Amino acid sequence: MPDWPHSPVHRFSESGVYIVTAGTYQKKHLFKSPESLDMFCGMLFTLCKDYGWELRSWAVMINHYHFIAATTGDPSTLKEMITKLHRHSAIQINKLDNNPGRKVWFQYWDSRITFEKSYYARLRYVNNNPVHHGIVKDADEYKWCSALWFRINADPAMRKTLESFKTDKLNLFDDF
């Protein structure tokens, strides 16, 4: 079957590490309360666990998110997991805002990360995404990303390695 030219292609042929980015419909700021961000993060963590995806990095903002996750199982479960994440989070945010039926999500982009250097650069990028968007000066201050978790839990050598990778030339969709 040919690719549909008006949306991102989703190919899940091999297990491994994937980066996922999604944005809200018309880039609307729908997840603006701590309650809505907590709700979305909770759903993401639960679904990753339920579907056998090891969450490596995440950043959830008011109108988009990024995460990096790995699986040794069937990678096609990622599509089902994201579909469920978007469906359930849309229902919940619309309930919180008393706006039933509103379109919440637009599209998502995914990519399998195949090179170690690419993995480290993307991991750093996701951890620092709240800084990239000017939300905070230090990503450790932002509750809805993995930066603080990474600083507390990662081996010091891994943190040092990660900080050595540049992210300014990454080809990632992040026009939010």
86 in a structural domain: yes
8 in a structural domain: no
Q: Give the separation between CA 52 and CA 55, rounded to whole angstroms.
A: 9
Could you list the residue range(s) of the whole structural domain that residue 63 is in? Answer: 16-163
Q: Give the separation between CA 40 and CA 61, rounded to whole angstroms.
A: 10
104 in a structural domain: yes
101 in a structural domain: yes
CB atoms within 10 A of CB 117: 9
CATH code at 130? 3.30.70.1290
Give residue 53's Cα distance to chain centre.
13
In tens digits, the chain (176 residues) has pLDDT values of: 444 444 444 455 678 999 999 999 999 999 999 999 999 999 999 999 999 999 999 999 999 999 999 998 899 899 999 999 999 999 999 999 999 999 999 989 999 999 988 899 999 999 999 999 999 999 999 999 999 999 999 999 988 888 888 777 666 767 77
Residue 115, burial from CB neighbour count under 10 angstroms (0-12, 13-18, 19+)? exposed
172 in a structural domain: no
